[in-house]
Structure 1
């Protein structure tokens, strides 16, 4: 997962209002590491930023990675660097693709909901489902047709028949109606703005969908109440260090100050870049990316803390 890749920007083009598509290829012409539907790629950007973006091309492709990036008005430097500082022909460094939003390929039917730039992992998923001959349907909501990424492909290409598009200035998505029409055993996937994800998951739960059939990926986290934060000691097993984590500082900031080179990106617990194994103690999980199984053995130091006075981690 931490393998470093050197990639060349083979193409950069606008595909919708505020959205650019990057095509990245190997600098030496070799096949790229394989990825699975729902994976993201962590790339190093001009200005010292490191960001994770979902791969949107067909997982069967080994000659390229494609990323669609929306220019966020509240950008902290990531999306703005992609739009303004990266150009065709540039070389960028990245880490091998990682997947925290995996597709359940054995499901009898899949229903996918995308809001805005949340279409990126979904496009990779539906391409994989199409290749498998699986049953699926896509519901994609954007503000307008001008802000709809991959509009032509989803309205006239081979994916069009099972894709439904909705615009704020036109037909609106009826989430409950879309869910009620699905068959038993269907798995649900949703990605997009927090409010959109909450609405889709809330509707599914109200209809009796079980948790194991619900899958989501967030680009930003819900606000976390920090007034009750407690200080604790952080023991780094491999480094042999014991660090004090004050109540008003994150684990990540303490690690970086101590010279620990741990990759990170979102700083909100949504991308999974900084996931670290826990050896002793009970983490105070504040992430939005780990499932219950992963929470038994690891945590995200960018935002999570400790419920105990001591937390021992594998660093």
Structure 2
């Protein structure tokens, strides 16, 4: 049953008239589905895997009422994100409410300790929430967090030192609970207290808030919570005596002098207690979950051991697939709808964010654990919007460093035989024990002590797609023209490579040069056994093609990223004109192959210096016959775009790739064609080059996060967003790849990318944050 917000009257939230008489009844008489009636977040099945437990709901009943819990359950990604986004309709005020009401006896125990937990950043409404968040967020920004890296690395080393030669460990008991607590206390500025006592208090706080304790346990928990409250007050008073300390709580104490109406005494006391829990519990659980899932996938574990650069994205995938926050709560402040379901005012919501993270509508093959998943960082484990976890980047730091320490020093570690148990509650999830084993004789540092001095660069904030690489072997490297090298790439283990669509490219990392370059795929998209690219040795290039020609040979093992595609072919188009200049034939060749397979009417127009210089010409001719038109400059044969495109056709699309001069000419000849009939792939772009002397600073309002930022004249929007702790993906930073796209709610954009089509730019509802700006320095409003 549910309580309405206005009257407090108990009423059933289900419309009985919508059901037939034979609808199964729940225990309280509501006609709900069998799955909804049986839903129990305290069951072992939920604790073991919340996403699997509610899979039926994601597929059949994404929003349902649970009579046992008295909450509406939300399970799909888009719905959960929409609730997080709207903090007016869906109040966070019940986020820390006891999901199992205390008995009178337990309340009396809490009162005896003068327990008075008030609102914190987690569960307060506007305008109080953003006023505090704006004041207190600076220590959580990536730049400010860098100062904590040495401590986290030191702790990781010290804790692993304690058991490195034992050959076995319970990682939760021996490291993963205590080490994050030390980091959390250090960040807060709290002197290290009795760790075992704080662990007991933290567990009690979790059970008290999100668990289902019985009558006797409620009394025990109430005493622990009461003692925790009093200890928090004593620590706070001690810190007030030295407000110049470096911790976040001292930062708040100093701010209180100028903002006493925002940073109140009751707030500081409550945040002290909540911060001790939040500062370590989610990271402790998150690290244990991450190591568990990685060791359960030996190939993934081996890959991050061999290539630590994969760790940042592996962390995001661990948070998505097996995160430490299973669910969160909101209160409906008015009658509303979620998806297709009417929600009454006063309804309590349990958003199962772990289920949202397994929604196939958002994440392809969501049940698969993939450390190279390019949108893994869009997981909702940290929440979303103005209440997104402020400590997300501190958690990312710890997870990355802990995983690096384990992969470097214990790459041969494996899970011991065990049954995993979890503390029964709705929201916080991690194994109570994590038993691992290894052969100490194989510890790498015994034969190579120098590995202890190695560590990968730390990436704070949103991981970049440019860090998600995979090894491939060069099965074939042949010159197909005097200056064009064709590479055939295969997986080292013989497994299939990722699927791709025509127009896609991969990035090749050029050894230790720090250079990476994009090359379009020109093989058969249906064949996942190999990838093929062709690279022109360009004397005016930025060094990538020359390095590949001079260094890569058959049998080499290289790193690639992708495939990714921002030059997509419309599979439903009726007719295609495919135009290529020089090495621009590579994506065009894949499109032509796909057009032939689909029975699309198509023609290819391929221009080059000479037939001998034109890559893939022989195989294109054999495959496409008369549909291929060749324009060799040395034969005096040039493509006449004006004639070719003289008559606009609404059923025809033009796809082109080649030199800038060719693309500019095509664009002029397509002015009278329907919008977006012409689709182009660019080799490079200078439109987004930033010249601070010619730029205007501008304001950007983040509608979902409740923040307003200033983008300086010498700063990109992307840099401003990431500096303010806002997650935005990025890769090329040249307006070429489309990964940093953000949605525009209001304002006029100065588009400087080569990704968006003409009509997309005119719609003005999205922009590339790495290069585009506002027009004349005017304010933009973004859906972030």
Which TM-score bucket, shorter chain as reference? Answer: 0.7 to 0.9
- The answer as to 2:683 corresponding to 1:210 is no
In 2, Cα distance between equivalents of 1:204 and 1:312 = 32
Larger radius of gyration, structure 1 or 2? 2
Which residue number corresponds to residue 160 of structure 1? 625
For the pair 1:25 / 2:493, whether they are aligned, the reply is no
* Length-normalised TM-score, structure 1: 0.82
Local SS of the residue matching 2:631: strand
Alignment of 1:35 onto 2:503? no
Cα offset for 1:148? 0.6
Could you say if the C-alpha distance between residues 201 and 284 of structure 1 is closer, same or farther in structure 2, counting changes exceeding 3 Å? closer
For 2:594 and 2:573, the matched residues in 1 are separated by 13
Structure 1 residue 183: Cα displacement? 6.3
Q: Which range is displaced more, 81-90 or 48-57?
A: 81-90
SS at match of 2:753: coil
Q: Partners in 1 of 2:734 and 2:591 — Cα distance?
A: 25
SS of corresponding position for 1:79: helix
Q: Which moved more, 1:49-58 or 1:3-12?
A: 3-12
The 5 Å alignment of 1:163-312 reads 163-170=628-635, 171-180=637-646, 185-205=651-671, 208-221=672-685, 223=687, 226=691, 227-232=693-698, 245-251=711-717, 263-265=730-732, 267-272=733-738, 274-278=739-743, 282=747, 283-291=749-757, 292-293=759-760, 296=764, 298-307=766-775, 308=778
1:126 aligns with 2:592: yes
Contact 1:276-1:313 within 8 A present in 2 as well: no
After TM superposition, the score normalised by the length of structure 2 is: 0.36
Q: How far is 1:188 from its partner?
A: 1.0
1:198–1:280 CA distance, 2 compared to 1 (3 A): same
Structure 1 residue 77 displacement after superposition? 2.6
Structure number with higher helix proportion? 2
C-alpha spacing 1:248/1:23, structure 2 compared with 1 (3 Å): same
Cα deviation 1:136-186 (Å, max 9, x = unaligned): 11001111223211121133x122321011112111112223234886612
Look up the SS of the partner of 1:211 in the other structure. coil
Alignment partner of 1:12: what SS? strand
Tell me by how many angstroms 1:34 deviates. Answer: 1.0
SS across alignment from 1:189 = strand
Contact 2:745 2:765 in 1 (8 A): no
What's the RMSD between the two structures over aligned residues? 3.4
CA contact (8 A) 1:13 1:20 kept: yes
- Residues 256 and 82 of structure 1: CA distance in aligned 2, closer, same or farther (over 3 Å): farther
Aligned residues of 2:506 and 2:564 also touching (Cα < 8 A): yes
2:512 counterpart of 1:44: no
Aligned partner of 1:6 among 443, 458, 471: 471
Moved more, 2-11 or 225-234: 225-234
Q: 2: distance between equivalents of 1:286 and 1:186?
A: 27
Q: How far 1:122 moved relative to its partner?
A: 0.2
Q: How many angstroms does 1:110 deviate by?
A: 0.9
In structure 2, stretches of 5+ residues that fail to align are 1-372, 375-467
Of residues 542, 545, 557, the one that matches 1:91 is: 557
Deviations 1:225-246 (A, max 9, x none): 8453123467899999998654
Distance 1:234 1:92, change over 3 A: farther
Superposed, which structure 2 residues align to 1:51-70 within 5 Å?
51-70=517-536
Structure with higher RCO (Cα < 8 A, 6+ apart): 1
Aligned to 1:149: 615
